[in-house]
Amino acid sequence: MNPSSTVQSSQRRVVVVMPAYNAAKTLKTTYDDLPHDTVDSIILVDDGSRDDTIYIAEQLGLSVFAHKRNLGYGANQKTCYLEALKDGASIIVMVHPDYQYDPTLLPEIIRPIEEGQYDVVFGSRMKGMSAFKQGMPWWKYIANIFLTWLENKTFGLELSEYHTGYRAYRREVLESVNFLANSDKFIFDQEIVAQFVAGGFSIGDIHVPTRYFPEASSASFFASVRYGLGILGLLFRYQLHQWGIVKSQRFVCHPLRYRSTKP
């Protein structure tokens, strides 16, 4: 499947989605740094926060959707993408409200989609200056390199990182994959990548600097181990599907249409 043609400015609607959990300390800073002349709408999905995330989001004028309890990072993204599609987005950008990724780079991350170069763009911490030098724990840095190498081999790509939380999507990509069938946990991030690859969508990446500080969310060592093992299992299932040994409907594109609430 080839990338889309150039997105016309008259048809472009950029919607930022923020999957939030206890982001009260960093939400306003993230919001302030967004290039608001580029963004048409901002949606925040709160996943059962125990702080003032919802209150601050409402004070900032964001469109807020709240889970009654903590359902998981994948479940949060599902709500984010469903609401962005309903909002009439032509480009959806996930920006974490913990201020780990630089919000000012949003125009750079969506440009390859606007120009028809890619369907999906990742903001990579592994391009340019070493993420390890920027504060990434050494064990996470090494695991990132190994898993990215393995995913490139399995998916036939040459990306510098798969494990970023800064991502942009062309609308039609999210409409075409069954992301609702994916996990509600962190492995959602890689399951949706496998779906993109199986669907023949093009994926690119650009360098983005990252910040590591106490308020920035980061998975623990044991959570990261579970995540890594989950990726190995996912790649095995994907390979079986590609070989035709065990077919999975999860990796088959089914065009879905989410009705926009915009005219």
Q: Is 46 helix (H, G, I), strand (E, B) or coil?
A: strand
Structure tokens at 260: 């926009």
Amino acid 130: pLDDT? 66
Residue 69 has pLDDT above 80, yes or no: yes
Domains within the chain, CATH numbers bracketed:
14-251 (3.90.550.10)
- Cβ-in-10-Å burial (0-12, 13-18, 19+) of 130 comes to exposed
- How confident is the model over 157-185, as a mean pLDDT? 95
Contact between 70 and 152 under an 8 Å Cβ cutoff? The reply is: no
- How confident is the model over 201-228, as a mean pLDDT? 77
- Using H for helix, E for strand and C for coil, what is the string for 60-122? CCCEEEEECCCCCHHHHHHHHHHHHHHCCCCEEEECCCCCCECHHHHHHHHHHHHCCCCCEEE
Least confident range of 69-83, 195-209, 221-235: 221-235
Amino acid 256: pLDDT? 53
Q: Which residue stretches of the chain are H helix?
A: 27-33, 53-59, 73-86, 106-114, 138-155, 171-176, 188-198, 221-243
Q: Is 14 helix (H, G, I), strand (E, B) or coil?
A: strand
The pLDDT tens digits for 97-106 are 999 999 999 9
**Dihedral (Cα; 239, 188, 79, 205), 10-degree rounding:** -90
The pLDDT tens digits for 119-136 are 999 999 888 666 656 667
Strand 41-47 to 203-207 pairing? unpaired
Distance, CA of 67 to CA of 62 (rounded, Å): 16
Contact between 100 and 165 under an 8 Å Cβ cutoff? The reply is: yes
CA atoms within 13 Å, Cβ hemisphere of 156: 9
Residue 49 has pLDDT above 70, yes or no: yes
Amino acid 263: pLDDT? 47
